[in-house]
Structure 1
Amino acid sequence: MDTYIRSERDEVSKAQVFTYKQLQSATNNFSPLNKIGHGGFGLVYRGVLPDGRLAAVKLMDRQGKQGEREFRVEVDMLTRLHSPYLLDLIGYCADKDYRLLVYSYMANGSLQEHLHSKGKSTLDWGTRILVAFDAAKGLEYLHEYVIPPIIHRDFKSSNILLDEHNDVVLADFGLAKTGADKIAGQPSTRVLGTQGYLAPEYAMTGHLTTKSDVYSYGVVLLELITGRLPVDAKRPPGQNVLVNWALPRLTDREKLAQMVDPYLRSQYNMKELVQVAAIAAMCVQPEPDYRPLITDVVQSLIPLVRQRRMGTPKRSVSSPRCVSSLLKSPTTQSPALKANIKTLQ
Structure 2
Amino acid sequence: MVAIPAEMTFIAHGAGGGPEVLVPQRGPVPAPQADEVLIRCMAVGVNRPDVAQRSGSYPPPPGASPILGLECAGEVVAVGAKATRYKVGDRVTALTNGGAYAEYCTAPEAQALPWPQGYDALRAAALPETYFTVFANMFGHGQLGAGETLLVHGGTSGIGVTAIQLAKAFGATVFATAGSAEKVAACLELGADAGIDYRAQEFVEEVKKLTGGKGVDVVLDMVGAPYFAKNIRCLRLDGRLVMIAFLGGHVAEQVDLRPIMVKRLTVTGSTMRPRTTAEKGEIAAALEAKVWPMLAAGKCGPRIFRTFPLAEAAAAHRLMESSAHIGKIMLTVG
TM-score normalised per structure 2: 0.29
The structure with the greater share of residues assigned to helix is 1
The structure with the greater share of residues assigned to strand is 2
Larger RCO: 1 or 2 (CA < 8 Å, sep 6+): 2
TM-score normalised per structure 1: 0.28
